[in-house]
Structure 1
Amino acid sequence: MVIPVHDVNPVRRRPWVTYLLIAANVGVFLLTPAATTTGVESSSLGELCRQEAFYDRYAAIPRELIGNRQLPEVPTGEVGVGAGGPGCVVSEPSYHKLPALSVLYSMFLHGGWLHLLGNMLFLWVFGNNVEDRFGRLRYLLVYLLCGYVAAYGFALGSHDAVTPLVGASGAVSGVLGAYLVLFPRARVWSLVPVLLFIPLRLPAWLVLGLWFVIQWVYSAGYAVSGAGSVAYLAHVFGFVTGVLAALTLAGRQRPEDPYRRREPRRRVA
């Protein structure tokens, strides 16, 4: 899989919404239990229980989304000892959770630093141009719509799952889908893993098309990924929603090609 680092696609105005989304994701992450771990060292049982309780309270859970009601029993964040040994204590929740609102929360929660930085890199590279083309308000609405469709689409495919769904991946996937429709010929500097990471300037249709094919292959079960906890189906739903949004909002108007040679303007008397 190639890693995009920069696109050659100028914008007409500053992408303030993209900046604010990145800042919000980073800021919220720093307030969550996952921010205290690097993902390299092993966490204690107490830390794992607290993280599980936090995500069960705020993140989207497929079974809750399908049934539109919270789980009858959730982790409390405390450690207990049962018949099978030490584990996380579960009991009836002491709070009221709105499953539909948890989807919004989950878009700003991440499981670790790599998860956060990967999503923010893709949003940084591709979000500015989509925002520039859609306009700030429509861009934000499309971003949120893609996140919701991704979460509920994944829930439909895993309706009995109780594992929390976290991350901006569904919404960011929508941004990628919209970018592919709007700027398929834009050039993207990407790191290609051939022995070492080699920087190449590739067309957006190749970078994003390849990315989508990989997500679809893993979601359909045609290949097994080492990242078994990744919700690939959510990425597919988000991406397709972004494509449809771009086709609907942009219509048949073709974006200005930054590579087209322009003739000099002449003033006629």
Structure 2
Amino acid sequence: MVIPIYDVNPVRRTPWVTYGLIAANVLALLFTPVFANMGIGSEAVSDLCHQTAFFQHYAAIPKELITNTQLPLVATGAVGRMANGLGCVVDAPTYAKQPALSVLTSMFLHGGWLHLLGNMLFLWVFGNNIEDRFGKIGYLLVYVASGYAAAYGFALANPDTTEPLIGASGAVSGILGAYLVLFPRARVWSLVPILFFIPLRLPAWIVLGTWFVLQWLYSAGLAVTGGGEVAYLAHVLGFMVGVLAALPFRGRRRGPPVPRQLAGYAEPQVMWRKTDRGGWR
């Protein structure tokens, strides 16, 4: 898989929303049981039960999204002795959960550092230009809408699934879809696995197009992946929302042109002065 590391596509303003989303995702991981359970060796049963209870409380669960009702039995975080050994105790929930709101909270939950860093790398590389084009509010709306479409779309395809959906992948996929529509020819420095990871400058349509095709193949079961329980269909759906959101913006001017020096060019300085006829030269 091609790994983007930097795009040659200058922006006109500081992408504060992108920075804020990345910071929020990092902080969320620091305050979840996932971070507390990180370490050398396997996790204890008590840690796994605590983590399961946390995700069932705050993550999006497809069955809950379809029925708009929380599960009747959830993990309590306690450990009990089962017929085949130790296991997590389940009981009626002691909290009131809003399934629709859980989609929003699930966008800031991740299963570990690799899961988090993968999503945030793509958001770091491609998010600033989409924020620059859509504006802060529009950008945030596309991000959230893509996340919701990804979660509910996956739930519709898997209505009986009770495994929690976590991660910003669906929302970030929407940003990638918008970038592909608006900046298909932008150059992206990427690590390409050819024997070793080789840095190459590729057009965005190759980097993001390849990524999308892989997600679609995985979601359709036409390719084998070692990604485990990854909701590839959610990636595909989020990406399509970003594509649709960006289509009305395609071809619009970005406002004042970026100085060519910022784009890697050098121009001689030109002195302008007003002529007698009222013009400038």
Q: Where on the TM-score scale, by shorter chain, does this alignment land: which range?
A: over 0.9
1:130-183 CA distance string (max 9 Å, x none): 000000110011100000000001111111100000000000000000000010
> What TM-score comes out, normalization by structure 2 length?
0.90
Structure ID, larger Rg: 2
Runs of at least 5 residues in structure 2 that lack an aligned partner in the other structure: 274-278
1:127 alignment counterpart: 127
- Taking a change above 3 Å as real, the CA distance of residues 56 and 220 of structure 1, as seen in their structure-2 partners, is same
- Taking a change above 3 Å as real, the CA distance of residues 261 and 82 of structure 1, as seen in their structure-2 partners, is closer
2:252 partner amino acid = Q
1:25 alignment counterpart: 25
Instruction: Work out whether residues 61 and 164 of structure 2, in 8 Å CA contact, stay in contact via their aligned partners in 1.
Output: yes
Distance of 2:28 and 2:86 partners within structure 1: 31
1:18 partner amino acid = T
Distance of 1:220 and 1:254 partners within structure 2: 37
Distance of 2:267 and 2:153 partners within structure 1: 47
Runs of at least 5 residues in structure 1 that lack an aligned partner in the other structure: none
1:197 alignment counterpart: 197
Deviates most, 221-230 or 194-203: 221-230
Instruction: Work out whether residues 182 and 254 of structure 1, in 8 Å CA contact, stay in contact via their aligned partners in 2.
Output: no
2:276 alignment counterpart: none
1:173 alignment counterpart: 173
- Taking a change above 3 Å as real, the CA distance of residues 43 and 69 of structure 1, as seen in their structure-2 partners, is same
- Taking a change above 3 Å as real, the CA distance of residues 134 and 262 of structure 1, as seen in their structure-2 partners, is farther
1:47-104 CA distance string (max 9 Å, x none): 0000000000000000000000000000000110122221100011111100000000
Distance of 2:39 and 2:180 partners within structure 1: 32
1:218-244 CA distance string (max 9 Å, x none): 001111211121110000000000000
2:138 alignment counterpart: 138
- Taking a change above 3 Å as real, the CA distance of residues 214 and 13 of structure 1, as seen in their structure-2 partners, is same
> What TM-score comes out, normalization by structure 1 length?
0.94
Structure 2 SS opposite 1:138: helix
Distance of 2:24 and 2:160 partners within structure 1: 31
Instruction: Work out whether residues 182 and 250 of structure 2, in 8 Å CA contact, stay in contact via their aligned partners in 1.
Output: no
CA deviation after TM superposition for structure 1 residue 40, in Å: 6.2
Map residues 85-100 of structure 1 onto 2, 5 A cutoff. 85-100=85-100
2:49 alignment counterpart: 49
Root mean square deviation, CA, Å: 2.1
Deviates most, 221-230 or 117-126: 221-230
Map residues 1-269 of structure 1 onto 2, 5 A cutoff. 1-38=1-38, 41-248=41-248, 250-253=249-252, 268-269=279-280
Distance of 2:195 and 2:66 partners within structure 1: 44
- Taking a change above 3 Å as real, the CA distance of residues 260 and 14 of structure 1, as seen in their structure-2 partners, is closer
Deviates most, 40-49 or 112-121: 40-49
1:4-54 CA distance string (max 9 Å, x none): 000000000000000000011111110001113447631111100000000
CA deviation after TM superposition for structure 1 residue 260, in Å: 11
Structure 1 SS opposite 2:197: strand
